[in-house]
Amino acid sequence: MKESELSNIVSDWFKSRGYEIYTEVPYGKYSYKRIDIVAKNENVVIPVELKISLNEAVFYQSLINQNISPWCYSAVSKNPQKKSLRRHIEHGIGVMLIKDNKVSVLLEPSGKDVKLNYSRTELLGRLENMEQGGIAGMPNQKGVGPAQTVGKAVREYLLLNPSASWKELYANVNNHYSCPSSMCTALKFRCNFSMTEHRKNTH
């Protein structure tokens, strides 16, 4: 089972419990890390990392997510080894097992004794600028992805508002970025987008 296939199952599980779902959430202003799923209910946020097996990668990703919330999960489709489970127990990270399109919670997150080093307000503000839903864990195809979608919307907005600044674009074009400068940098490197060239070509 692919990570993208786990995404809908985990999302539906949280939705049935009254949570809003956001996918591929930027971790911070200056980080390229994306959180696979963030489940939100009022001011409670639950980061979830998706992987096929409970390996070191998903453990460290969830460990980083504890800077945001003490309620973190790793969600996998293969039965985890005792060693991997023990490490999650020691650090208070929850574990979900997805089998036959169903979610089983093998470990609940401890929810305590975790030092939060990240602004919850900042994350909640970021979620307000994102659309709910989506699929996490999708492999990127050449020329296809979130950046390309935002880039297309930016070009369309600029045709009607040619003098718009990045701050205005960030406020009026639906996107998943943490700030105007992050949006500008991502479109420059992922879409070869240049504001100067765009305005030159449309005059």
Which residues of the chain have a pLDDT value below 50?
140-143
Check residue 141 and give its pLDDT: 46
What fold characterizes domain 3-128? Trna Endonuclease; Chain: A, domain 1 (3.40.1350)
CA geometry: angle at 38 spanning 35 and 41, to 5°? 160
Q: List Cα–Cα distances, 10 to 20, 52, 182, in angstroms.
A: 12, 13, 29
Check residue 21 and give its pLDDT: 96
Check residue 123 and give its pLDDT: 80
Show the tokens assigned to 110.
Answer: 């401890």
Check residue 111 and give its pLDDT: 83
* 3 state DSSP class of 180: helix
Check residue 151 and give its pLDDT: 85
Beta bridge partner(s), residue 38: 22, 47
* 3 state DSSP class of 172: helix
